[in-house]
A and B are shown apart, each in its own frame.
Chain A
Amino acid sequence: MKLFGSATRAEELPEAALSAMLGRALWPRLAVGLAVLLGVALLAAAIGPVAIPADAVARIILSRLPGVSLADSLPQSWQDIVWEVRLPRVVIAGLVGATLAFSGATYQAVFRNPLADPYLIGVAAGAGLGATAVMVSPLDASVGGVSLVPLAAFAGALTAVALAYALARVGRTVPTVTLILAGVAISSIATSATSFLMISHSQRVLTTLTWLLGGFNLSEWSKLWWVLPYVLPAAVIILLHGRILNVLQLDEEQAQQLGVNVEQVKLLLLGAASLATAAAVSVSGIIGFVGLIVPHTVRLLWGPDHRQLLPMSMVVGAAFLILADMLARTVNSPSEVPVGIITAFCGAPFFLYLLRLRQRAVF
């Protein structure tokens, strides 16, 4: 029963030793990671299907600072492209990448299942159904300034997770195995309904399929407001629970004896991760692979302690998705490639390479 075995080996190391190692390693590592992330973001802002010189990009960005005007001589189209299209794209891709990665790490920890990803209990399938239902309908794209597709995706995702949670409830507890099974069942119902909608509105297949594969082509600054209000609190809550997630890797009963209110923690962490993922998916579509593999990559590189796994997953997830999105808009220029295709196609080989490199297997 590998499937439901421990995802990590945190229990093999005494807590004190781990703490000491972590104290030495986390902050410098995090600082380097953030610096690399910033570099990746700037690189992505400078590269796109429209060739804009790097110094022009820098001048356009700096001109946004109060009192600086370096971009006046540059074409208006470049300023619009860099500021209204590329930068929001980079920022939102980073935010979504970080969210999927820390949510994936949380799911893997709570379910103690290495195959868990943030879509496991219905977020993706529910969001897909909600978004598809709006996309095949003749409804206006937005009502009163609120875009309907992200709204429907968000509502669909939360409904699916809430249903799975309610169905898996046994008395006052929610056994994780039951929750996974309920989530998988809800997901297949939502997925088949989505497929039916796509088939019966065949003239919209391209639109819906593209959304389902995920992408950032339509990013704009206002979409930050779809994501930030959920992602920021969720990230804070989850980061504060690193130690408790380490304890949860033990038997649930043992964790209970150590004073952890297991049911309450599970509800809080899964709720936070699901809410954040639902918000991310509502603006980006269903980008696969990031939430599954980024936490494993971080674990392979720097070990299983959740106090470093969670923040480092955020940094690596953000950088990874920003790079993947850069490829999405350049490899087939002037056309887009759905970013979900890139994440799996480029990310999986790298992960396999890591897996082979490190002889100690995670699973």
Chain B
Amino acid sequence: MTSLVKRGLLLLALVLALAAAVACGGGGGEPGPEASPTVLAAVQVSYPLTIADTVGREVTIEAQPQRIASLSPAATETLFAIGAGDQVIAVDKFSNYPKKATTREQLDAFEPNLEAIAAVQPDLVLLFYDPGELAASLERLGITTAVLGSVEETPESVAAVFDQIRLLGQMTDHVQEAEELVADMQGRIDAIEEALADVEQGSRIFHEVDATLYTAAPASFVGGLYKILKAQNIAAEADQPFPQLSQEVIIEGDPEVIILADGDYGESPDTVKARPGWENISAVRNDRIFVIDPDIVSRAGPRLVEALETLAEYLYPERFE
């Protein structure tokens, strides 16, 4: 796995080196951050393009894809954000953002039907999960397929997301837009980090994934976001990314803020307040229970920053509006 990641990074380094070379040769000016978007415009992806997807398969894309089937909600969001939305002809049923994506043909990412995918005649299929041999079967049908793994269990969330955005930019020949998106996201993350520069230690938090008390530990993607916000995760001792905490551990951990990612399934600040034994938890006493859209905190897409900004507002209301 690590060698595969390395390969991806190598490729990335190559693109950046190329960009730098173009910058130096072209204007002779300094390749400052403001200059980079225009400079990168000169980077034209030349097909056939061979990349390594996140599970290490070598994927060769013959020409700029025009009929993409995206079976990954995160990839769908990214494609639309980098201006490749028009190249998307089909999405999976969880690809609910942006609105425009829902007008595309719908496929199933968890129980994918080979025939249904082939029927939309895609020239590129993006998966975030291969339920066994799907990629190989699609390749046998002559359909180029790339697996962009889920980052749910990747605590280094930001870096992983940027990698995937850049990779999609390359694959679809939207390198410049991808770089611009990454730069915008990085800028907003920097602004948050700057605003929190003097914070030693943030609030104790409990992030509720579901009502049976599954949570997101520091080893998860969501956990990585809380690390950026300097929050103290009360599930820090758990070794799995998504452990089911004992109720008494939550009471003893005394979270100051509770974030509910299960609002769609009937949980709300009121239901939390009504739980016996929870009435003396700081977050309950101080009414600091918030609901967050689970989609934005779990997808390796452009809305990662939105998640971060929303959480920052919940955790530091005095610093963010």
Contact = CB atoms under 8 A, between A and B. Distances in A.
B215 to A, nearest CB: 9
B246 A217 contact: yes
A138 B247 contact: no
A142 interface: yes
A298 B275 CA distance: 38
21 contacts: A84-B277, A85-B248, A88-B276, A139-B266, A141-B271, A142-B271, A204-B210, A204-B265, A206-B214, A206-B242, A211-B212, A218-B211, A218-B212, A218-B247, A220-B275, A221-B276, A329-B246, A333-B249, A335-B243, A335-B245, A336-B243
B318 interface: no
A333 B246 contact: yes
The interface centre, meaning the residue of A203, A215, A218, A335 with most chain B CB atoms within 10 A of its CB, is: A335
Given A50-B252, A199-B111, A218-B213, A336 B246 contact: yes
A50 B209 CA distance: 22
Given A49-B246, A85-B251, A217-B247, A80 B277 contact: yes
Interface string A128-164: 0000000100111110000010000000000000000
B267 interface: yes
Contacts, number: 107
A257 interface: no
The interface centre, meaning the residue of A48, A85, A199, A217 with most chain B CB atoms within 10 A of its CB, is: A85
B237 interface: yes
Contacts of A139: 266
Interface in A230-261: none
Given A199-B111, A334-B237, A49 B267 contact: no
Interface of B: 94, 110-111, 209-214, 235, 237-238, 240, 242-249, 251-252, 254, 264-267, 271, 275-280, 294
A222 interface: yes
B126 to A, nearest CB: 18
Contacts of A206: 209-210, 214, 242
Contact of A220 (B244, B245, B266, B276): B276
Contacts of A203: 94, 294
A138 B265 contact: yes
A176 interface: no
A202 interface: yes
A77 B282 CA distance: 11
A192 interface: no
A316 B164 CA distance: 56
B251 A77 contact: yes
A219 to B, nearest CB: 8
Contacts of B209: 206
A81 interface: yes
A73 interface: no
Q: Which of the four size classes fits the interface of chain A?
A: 35 or more
Contacts of B211: 141, 207, 218
A293 B245 CA distance: 29
A142 B278 CA distance: 17
B246 A141 contact: no
The interface centre, meaning the residue of A50, A135, A139 with most chain B CB atoms within 10 A of its CB, is: A50
A210 interface: yes
A264 interface: no
A76 interface: yes
A233 to B, nearest CB: 26
B244 A80 contact: no
A86 interface: yes
Interface of B is mostly: loop
B256 to A, nearest CB: 14
Contact of B277 (A81, A142, A200, A335): A81
A351 B242 CA distance: 33
Contacts of A88: 276
Given A199-B111, A335-B238, A138 B277 contact: no
A84 B294 CA distance: 29
A49 B248 CA distance: 7
A148 B110 CA distance: 27
B246 A48 contact: yes
B245 A81 contact: no
Q: Which 5 pairs, one residue from A and one from B, show the smallest C-beta to C-beta distance?
A: A84-B277, A335-B243, A141-B266, A140-B266, A334-B249
A217 B251 contact: no
Contacts of A83: 277
Contacts of B94: 203
Contacts of A202: 110
The interface centre, meaning the residue of B94, B110, B235, B265 with most chain A CB atoms within 10 A of its CB, is: B265
A94 B150 CA distance: 41
A310 to B, nearest CB: 33
B293 to A, nearest CB: 13
A49 B264 CA distance: 30
A148 B266 CA distance: 10
A288 B171 CA distance: 50
Given A88-B276, A334-B235, A336-B244, 9 more contacts: A77-B252, A138-B266, A141-B265, A141-B267, A199-B110, A207-B210, A215-B212, A220-B275, A336-B245
Contacts of B279: 80
